[in-house]
Amino acid sequence: MDLFDKLKELHEEGLNQINKAKDEKTLNDVRVELVGRKGELTKILHSMREVAPENRREVGQKVNELRDLFNAQLDEAKEKIVKAVLAKKLEDEKIDVTLPGREAHLGSKHPINIILDDLESYFIGMGYRVVQGPEIETDHYCFEMMNIPKDHPARDMQATFYIDSEDLLRTQTSGDQARVLEKHDFSKGPLKMVGPGKVYRRDDDDATHSHQFMQMEGLVVDKNITMSDLKGTLEMISKHVFGQDRETRLRPSYFPFTEPSVEMDVSCFNCDGKGCPICKYTGWIEVLGAGMVHPNVLENAGIDSTVYGGFAFGVGLDRFAILKYGIDDIRDFYTNDVRFLEQFRKEER
């Protein structure tokens, strides 16, 4: 076959191969084979000796033309492949922006924390400080210092979980009173504190009982504190939490660490005092215990009870939340069901 035929065949075959290459690697192989240093066109140039001298110029020209043509076609084919790859990538990675987004499930403040945070700022505004005692408390602070000695019958009401004979899960935040009383320096002013936190009882859980719940202790000690200071404070708390229209009443009661002792009831939120199943037809719901600090509690902490006196109160925060929001099962506070918690989003401040 003479070189002209060879060139013609290469022309056809080359274009054919270029057209067939569907990816960059194959196309590159084709490029090497056609126009590379050891490619077909180079081979033809090398065999120029076999060409009659008068034809060499024409063969050379044809080889150059063919090289230009191949290069142009190769470039064009490459551009097509690059574009196709990009188009496929865009297609594969396409995002449907019309799909609805996934809703982020944001938690909300726990109803007890809503009340707690609100009460804390309320008391801070009246000059109280907020203290936090340990949940694993000693018998000494939880009971002994609070005038509940080992054989005292009041201990029966507060059965708890013992860690050993001295350490226990506290049944009440009242131990905070003793801890603060021991340290307070009365030359710097009166003692006014609230102590919120978790407490524990050995109770069988049901709609109104939980083995874990929240209390907030309150304590004010100074000279000349009277029962009317206590009454005014309790009434203010009630009105702040439950609203101005809610009636309150104090009933005589008994706590070992106060004398006299009272319990405060608020008029039933459900029937407005008329009587209903929620208030057991009394028209009142008990919300806290309180009283004038027992002299023994002051003396136990090294304070002269003939000079100083005060009042204390213990709020059941779960109770407050149940009454304020009309919740019918205390266990809802502790089972972490987001659907329950989300209902209080509008109450957050």
Positions that interact with ligand DAH (CB under 6 A): 172, 174, 217, 255, 258, 289-291, 312-314
Closest approach, Cβ 339 to ligand DAH, in A, equals 31
Shortest reach from residue 275's CB to ligand DAH, in Å:
26
- For ligand DAH, the nearest residue by Cβ is 314
CB closer to ligand DAH, 197 vs 291: 291
17 vs 177, beta carbon nearer ligand DAH: 177
* Separation of alpha carbons 193 and 178, rounded Å: 12
Nearest distance, CB of residue 298 and ligand DAH, angstroms: 13
Q: C-beta of 108: minimal distance to ligand DAH in Å?
A: 28
Cβ at position 245, least distance to ligand DAH in Å? 26
| 7, 40, 44, 192 from 66: Cα distances, Å | 8, 11, 11, 101
Phi and psi at residue 33, to the nearest 5°: -70, -35
Question: Who contacts 66 (Cβ-Cβ below 8 Å, separation ≥6)?
Answer: 7, 10, 11, 14, 41
Residue nearer to ligand DAH on the CB measure, 263 or 332: 263
Burial class (CB in 10 A: 0-12, 13-18, 19+), 237: buried
Rank residues 255 and 269 by Cβ distance to ligand DAH and give the closer one: 255
Nearer to ligand DAH, 64 or 208 (CB): 208
Residue with smaller CB distance to ligand DAH, 217 or 318? 217
**Which CB sits closer to ligand DAH, 158 or 267?**
158
What sections of the chain are H helices per DSSP? 3-20, 24-35, 40-46, 53-92, 111-125, 139-142, 175-183, 227-242, 295-300, 317-325, 338-342
CB 258 within 8 A of CB 312: yes
Task: Give the nearest distance from C-beta 314 to ligand DAH in angstroms.
Answer: 2
259 is in an annotated binding site: yes
* CB of 347 vs ligand DAH, minimal distance in Å: 26
Name residues whose C-beta falls within 8 Å of residue 307's C-beta, 6 or more positions apart in sequence. 223
Q: Where are the beta strands (DSSP E) in 147-255?
A: 167-169, 191-200, 212-222, 248-255
Q: List the structure tokens of 346.
A: 């509008």
CA distance 147 to 149: 6
Q: Can you say which residues are annotated as belonging to the binding site for Mg(2+)?
A: 259
- Which residues does the annotation place in the binding site? 259
